[in-house]
Structure 1
Amino acid sequence: MNNKKLEAALSDEIQALLADRKSLMLSTLDAEGEPYASYAPFAVEDQNIYLLISEIALHALNLQRHPRAAVLIMEDEDTAEELFARRRLAFQVSATLIETDSEQWQAGINVLSQRHGERINSLSQLADFKLFRLASLGGRYVKGFGKAYTIEAGSFDGRDLTHLRDGHQQRVVS
């Protein structure tokens, strides 16, 4: 398979994984700079991830304090062929809080409600729910042992991939 066909096939795989998973794992930094892990339902539109989360939840407060975070989207372990090499996307992101009276707010709510239904519209009416837009600062797609690819910043769909060719190394026993 030539490089362009391989990139297109990988991009299709990445988009299918994004479409299949409805929530992501989110790693943020708390007020003391300590990592905090959580999850949130998401939607992707125009190379951005949107999250609608309550500021009662620590991850919303953390994103407001420290806009840098990491996200992980991975295949379900019950359906994975290999538990130790589950397909996954990991990204470093920069979060932006979207103001409620903006066109961007409505666009983000629309994309989330298309994906998650009427519940989003109800939650968006609550004052403590905040809309965040996550922009990619770069990431990785892993589809198995020795099959890892870097994804360039600005993209969540894998249009710009580079294969990590070093792979696994046999341990030298002395």
Structure 2
Amino acid sequence: MKSEIAEQRISNEILEFLESQRTLNLSTLDEDGHPYASYAPFAIGDDCFYILVSDIAVHGLNLKRNSKAAVLIVQDESQADTIFARVRVNYQISAAHIAHQTEEFESGLAILAARQGERIEQLAALNDFNLFRLTPLNGRYVKNFGKAFSITGNTLTGDSIDHLRDGHKPRKAAV
């Protein structure tokens, strides 16, 4: 019972943190498999992120070619107690291109416009802008030294959240 309450508290913290931010950092893969870092304004809906990006943007083309990407949302430096422990959440994601003139496109666009303003609708009217749904596969939430949590599952707060208590030991793979 106690761990369920703690997990729900962390889950709520993650959602509150995500709601307090307006952009995400995005790492996509180019056609040669090299990473490319950028950012995009986002909105949350259906337990995933929605972004609207242009084909002119490298990350837009990369997402069309390869659905594997990563997202990082990080606290502003000016708000952090220490630069070494900024609050952040990152996810490995699967990106899906949402076709224009579909119910999901209209729904995702409405979610984005509600969060980011009317400019979204202006951009969406341009032929080179595309809507993507970024679905989390797993992630990690860090809120300070010794307060890191793995997020397992295909939602923003996962099916489970586990406190990483094993200290600074070598890992086989990072999340």
TM-score range, shorter chain: over 0.9
Residue of structure 2 equivalent to 1:3: 3
The Cα of 1:82 is off from its aligned counterpart by 1.5
For 2:54 and 2:17, how far apart are their aligned partners in 1? 26
For 1:60 and 1:20, how far apart are their aligned partners in 2? 24
Instruction: Determine helix, strand or coil for the equivalent of 2:78.
Output: coil
- Is contact 1:137–1:152 with CA below 8 Å preserved after alignment? yes
- Is contact 2:28–2:36 with CA below 8 Å preserved after alignment? yes
- Runs (4 or more) in structure 1 with deviation over 4 Å come to none
For 1:116 and 1:94, how far apart are their aligned partners in 2? 22
The Cα of 1:102 is off from its aligned counterpart by 0.6
The Cα of 1:48 is off from its aligned counterpart by 1.2
The Cα of 1:9 is off from its aligned counterpart by 1.5
Residue of structure 2 equivalent to 1:172: none
- Is contact 1:95–1:134 with CA below 8 Å preserved after alignment? yes
Instruction: Determine helix, strand or coil for the equivalent of 2:79.
Output: coil
CA 50–71 in structure 1, closer or farther in 2 if over 3 Å, else same: same
| 1:44 aligned onto 2:10 | no
Residue of structure 2 equivalent to 1:24: 24
Q: Which runs of 5+ in 2 are unaligned?
A: 170-175
For 2:102 and 2:158, how far apart are their aligned partners in 1? 29
Question: What TM-score do you get using the length of structure 2 for normalisation?
Answer: 0.93
The Cα of 1:155 is off from its aligned counterpart by 1.2
What is the RMSD of the two structures over their aligned residues, measured on CA atoms? 1.3
Larger Rg: 1
For 1:27 and 1:73, how far apart are their aligned partners in 2? 11
Counterpart residue type for residue 122 of structure 1: Q
- Is contact 2:138–2:158 with CA below 8 Å preserved after alignment? no
Q: Which runs of 5+ in 1 are unaligned?
A: 170-174
User: What percent identity do the matched residue pairs reach?
Assistant: 49
- Is contact 1:27–1:71 with CA below 8 Å preserved after alignment? yes
| 1:125 aligned onto 2:139 | no
Counterpart residue type for residue 52 of structure 1: L
- Is contact 1:7–1:159 with CA below 8 Å preserved after alignment? no
